[in-house]
Amino acid sequence: MKVLITGGAGFLGTRLAREILKRRQLADESVDELVLADLFPPPTSLLADPRVRASTGALIEQCTALRDESFDAVFHLAAAVSAECEADFDLGLRSNLDSTRALLDALRAAGNVPRFTFASSLAVFGSDPCLPLPPVVHDDTLPTPQSSYGIQKFMCEQLVSDYTRKGFIDGRSARLMTVVVRPGRPNGAASGFLSAMVREPLNGQDTVCPVSPETKVALASPERAMEGLIAVAEASRDSLCGRTAVNLPALTVSVGVMLDALAQVAGEAVRRRVRFEPDPVIARIVGGWPAAFESIRARRLGLDPDTDFISIVRQYLADQALELPSRP
């Protein structure tokens, strides 16, 4: 099996690549080649695996060459993120909508109908004046995105659905929750502070939270996000129950409870490194996203949410091999 991951040098892409390489198979088939497409090359530790090949450059520019390759499975993770899409409309359209269509057309031209898993987002949901967002999002809740990023993700879901209906790909879309904790430098996502308020204090740095402690969010650990993407990729068409995107499970938690968990794991001194400075733009974007999901279709695929935020903090410490700060 030959697998393509777009965004393969990013946080989720490299984690997904390592998971697939560790499993050695996908959908009961052996993975012989893994192509990681991104603006930048993936870590050298991944390239050391003889099964891995990098394809570097803007995705939309790579798609012409991809027409000459036949992939058995594709994970489409590459995207511009929420806040940068809101700040730069053309960037969002080019990176999200135009690149996705170019990729789908390349796969259509190749003609071998690969399994195609699209990483969508909870940002497809929002509160419309004529259709307010319900307290809990169900599998049949109508998406009404309220940001450029959410609208672009929803348009891509529909493209994936239609290319599947026409028989060009075997497509499926998985709506990811906000993935926390992301290591490394902050990205341009409106939700980036949710990782920063754990990551930076644990690394001895101060950080800012732009929303109130009462703000509730829908989260998933990196481990749960990977489980969800792979489960959706491996699912049969019958078990997916149609072409509509699958809402992955979410842990519903407030910012205040997240900070309580941080203090319980690492101490009050670490928690005090987070200060509150309201940002109306970020608060509007994040506050417009749903915070609670009942994901029955995902549960039928064997997926469950994280149990609590303390376990997510501990998972991050273990993944990064960090030692807790000494307490007075």
3-state secondary structure the chain: CEEEEECCCCHHHHHHHHHHHHHCEECCEECCEEEEEECCCCCHHHHCCCCEEEEECCHHHHHHHHCCCCCCEEEECCCCCHHHHHHCHHHHHHHHHHHHHHHHHHHHHHCCCCEEEEEEEHHHCCCECCECCCCCEECCCCCCCCCHHHHHHHHHHHHHHHHHHCCCCEEEEEEECEECCCCCCCCCCCCHHHHHHHHHHHCCCCEEECCCCCCEEEEECHHHHHHHHHHHHHCCHHHHCCCCCEECCCEEEEHHHHHHHHHHHHCHHHHCCEEECCCHHHHHHHHCCCCCEECHHHHHCCCCCCCCHHHHHHHHHHHCCCCCCCCC
- Tell me what pLDDT residue 185 has: 80
- Tell me what pLDDT residue 325 has: 58
pTM (predicted TM-score): 0.95
pLDDT in tens, the chain (328 residues): 999 999 999 999 999 999 999 999 999 999 999 999 999 999 999 999 999 999 999 999 999 988 889 999 999 999 999 889 999 999 999 999 999 999 999 999 999 999 999 999 999 999 999 999 999 999 999 999 999 999 999 999 999 999 999 999 999 999 999 999 999 887 778 899 999 999 999 999 999 999 999 999 999 999 999 999 999 999 999 999 999 999 999 999 999 999 999 999 999 999 999 999 999 999 988 989 999 999 999 999 999 999 999 999 999 999 888 766 555 5
Q: 273: closest CA among 184, 202, 171? A: 202
Q: Does residue 53 fall inside a structural domain?
A: yes
**48 shares its domain with 154:** yes
Q: Does residue 182 fall inside a structural domain?
A: no
Look up the domain containing 271 and give its range.
192-217+250-319
- Tell me what pLDDT residue 190 has: 85
Q: 231: closest CA among 304, 146, 306? A: 304
**113 shares its domain with 20:** yes
- Tell me what pLDDT residue 101 has: 98
**118 shares its domain with 14:** yes
Q: Does residue 183 fall inside a structural domain?
A: no
Tell me the two tokens of residue 143: 């998406």
**200 shares its domain with 315:** yes
Domain tally, the chain: 2
**225 shares its domain with 259:** no
**241 shares its domain with 311:** no
- Tell me what pLDDT residue 189 has: 84
**35 shares its domain with 106:** yes
Q: Does residue 304 fall inside a structural domain?
A: yes
Q: 143: closest CA among 281, 248, 244? A: 244
- CATH number, domain at 70? 3.40.50.720
**242 shares its domain with 254:** no
- CATH number, domain at 308? 3.90.25.10
**264 shares its domain with 292:** yes
**210 shares its domain with 228:** no
Query: One of 75, 118, 125, 149 is an active-site residue; which one?
Result: 149
Residue 149 annotated as catalytic:
yes
**133 shares its domain with 45:** yes
**11 shares its domain with 154:** yes
